[in-house]
């Protein structure tokens, strides 16, 4: 029997994840550092303090944005 998964969309790309996956785990898997990172789920910015407890729902649209320095 296969493990069930849900599908979330990270920066427009479909990604299967296990049910119960937390936003913080997803961010850690997609960025080398949390510094300068902002995350929105379904158009709502989620505070960094809430990432560890924010459970992802099937079909969630997640935008992970990283600040870039330069001139």
Percent above pLDDT 70 for the chain: 93
All structural domains of the chain with their residue ranges = 6-66
Q: Is 16 helix (H, G, I), strand (E, B) or coil?
A: strand
CATH 3.10.20.30 given to domain 6-66: yes
What would the pLDDT profile of 42-52 be if each residue is shown by its tens digit?
999 999 999 99
What would the pLDDT profile of 6-22 be if each residue is shown by its tens digit?
999 999 999 999 999 99
Task: Return the biggest CA–CA distance within the chain.
Answer: 53
* Cβ partners under 8 Å of residue 18, min gap 6: 3, 4, 5, 6
């Amino acid at each position: 029997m296969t493990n069930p998964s849900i599908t979330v969309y990270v920066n427009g790309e479909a990604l299967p994840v296990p049910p119960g996956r937390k936003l913080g785990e997803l961010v850690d898997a997609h960025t080398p550092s949390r510094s300068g990172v902002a995350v929105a789920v379904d158009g709502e910015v989620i505070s960094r303090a809430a990432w560890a407890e924010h459970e992802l729902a099937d079909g969630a649209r997640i935008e992970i944005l990283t600040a870039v320095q330069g001139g």
